[in-house]
Amino acid sequence: MSDPEETQTPPPPPRRIHVGVIEDHPLYRYALTRVLTEAPDVELGAVADSVARFAVQDQPAGSVVVLDLKLRGVQDAAAVLEVGQMGHKVLVVSAHAEQPEVLGAMQAGAKGFLSKDVDGDELLRAIRTIADDNAYVSPTLAGMIIQDSEERHAGPKIVLSEREKQVLRLVAAGERDVDVAEILNISVRTVRSYLDRIRDKTGERRRAGFVRVAIREGLLR
């Protein structure tokens, strides 16, 4: 009889997260790549100083892409949108981290936003969170957005159903209506019906407003 220990299935290999970098500052780009190459669960791929140069490199779809906002050529929300359209999950890391930049990037589909004073541990935590299809905004920036939202919407607390919260979280994290429908196994028409209810309850009409509400309600990490 064979030894039971010899027939046990070996544990699966640890997950590898594919990550790309678009950063035009040489020293900061070097620091980013060093942190990423030293992480045991990160597979660093394309590294470029512009969206155009990144686009011609071979980066697996679904990667987390660490993106600066102020680049040569395509930049800001347009850069977020273009990289997202390549099929990647965008994590913005920028020295420009005021409310307009944060909300503009999230509205364009960014899955996360960090300021450039972030340390390596939080950068990796954000990458792992986004790789798991969640959104990530640093606590400092989240507090800024919550304060703005509370000032804009002082009054009775908003009461959302559990399904409305699910839809809000996904939309605020950058998912399209059709993606939300697929994830929740409901029709696109039903998703839009929930969005209408959320708009009526929150008074928000745009994705940036949904981001504010989602952070205030604790729906985005």
Q: Identify the three-state secondary structure at position 107.
A: helix
26-45 residue pLDDT tens = 999 999 999 999 999 999 99
> How much is the pTM?
0.69
Per domain, the residue ranges of the chain are 17-137, 145-216
54-95 per-position pLDDT tens digit: 999 989 999 999 999 988 888 888 889 889 989 999 999 998
Domain 17-137: CATH architecture, name and number where available: 3-Layer(aba) Sandwich (3.40)
Judge contact between 63 and 90, C-beta under 8 A. no
Beta bridge partners of 92: 67, 113
Name the pLDDT band for 214 (thresholds 50, 70, 90).
confident
Domain 145-216 belongs in CATH node 3.40.710.10: no
User: Would you give the distance in Å from CA 219 to the centre of its chain?
Assistant: 13
